[in-house]
Structure 1
Amino acid sequence: MAGELSFIELGSDDPGKSRQFYEALFGWTFSPGASGEGAGYDIAGLGTAAGIHGGDPAASPYVFFKVDDLDAAAAQVLDLGGTVLELDMDGTDEQAAKYGRFTMCTDSQGSPFGLHQPPSA
């Protein structure tokens, strides 16, 4: 597995307010994300793919690590004593084709992280 940083996701109760906060703090630029204007944004200029999603107040940032095969990586997480919390949080087939496949996990000590299989080229 590659294991390199692949995606950062920020959870928020109100993505629009979060967008304003990070624009003012860091000068990040945003575009409507897979969830559409007001529900999610893609963030440019971080050096890695990133986004904000709604419906997740006071969430810690989610860090996703790149894998070549999401199903095999999720199975390995389980084999190593971790958990797979939400397999295939991809949304629609169109979103998965554009952004890839995502899974939330915890390691063997309960620390959360995500796995990301980028879309096929």
Structure 2
Amino acid sequence: MGQPVAYFEITSTAPEKIRDFYSELFGWTTEADPSMEGYAMVDTGAGPDAISGGISPSQGPGDTGVKIYVRVEDLEGGVAKAAELGADTLLPPMELPGGYGRIAVVSDPDGNPVGLWA
């Protein structure tokens, strides 16, 4: 059985503008959290089984775009397998605040970031 997409993240140099864009386009609601450096959780309004997401301010050059996070059973194993397949580790495994689990980010062979979430 395959691993499900569990989360999406949109990173922008103009996060307020991007939040407004997606809210107007799709009817999403977002609210930036100052304690999380302006990170905004996204409520797509699609119900409790919908994939959730967030909109993040850019942290540095080249980090803007959309990435998906895929649920994995073994975070370190997923990062190691990605490396065997030619990926670079962009963000090593780390704990999420609030007990939301652990994530890592790797690049696919074209350089696209892909999040792993356990």
Q: TM-score range by the shorter chain?
A: 0.7 to 0.9
Q: How many residues align?
A: 111
Using a 3 Å threshold, how does the CA distance of structure 1 residues 11 and 89 change in structure 2: closer, same or farther? farther
Match of 1:61 in 2: 66
**Greater shift in the superposed pair: 44-53 or 24-33:** 24-33
Using a 3 Å threshold, how does the CA distance of structure 1 residues 15 and 62 change in structure 2: closer, same or farther? same
- Give the letter aligned to residue 31 of structure 2: S
Residues in 2 aligned to 1:96 and 1:70: alpha-carbon distance in whole angstroms: 18
Q: 3-state SS of the aligned residue for 1:87?
A: strand
TM-score calculated relative to the size of structure 1: 0.75
Match of 1:49 in 2: 52
Using a 3 Å threshold, how does the CA distance of structure 1 residues 89 and 77 change in structure 2: closer, same or farther? same
Percent identity of the aligned residues?
29
TM-score calculated relative to the size of structure 2: 0.77
User: Is there any run of 5+ residues in structure 2 with no aligned partner, and where?
Assistant: none
Residue 5 in 1 paired to residue 10 in 2? no
Residues in 2 aligned to 1:116 and 1:10: alpha-carbon distance in whole angstroms: 16
- 1:46-92 Cα offsets, whole Å, 9 max, x none, are 5202000102578220111110121111111112222211113545x
Residue 112 in 1 paired to residue 113 in 2? yes
Runs of 4+ aligned structure 1 residues displaced above 3 Å come to: 31-34, 108-111
Structure with more of its chain in strand, by fraction: 2
Using a 3 Å threshold, how does the CA distance of structure 1 residues 96 and 81 change in structure 2: closer, same or farther? farther
Q: Give, in angstroms, the shift of residue 14 of structure 1.
A: 2.7
RMSD of Structure 2 on Structure 1 (CA): 2.5
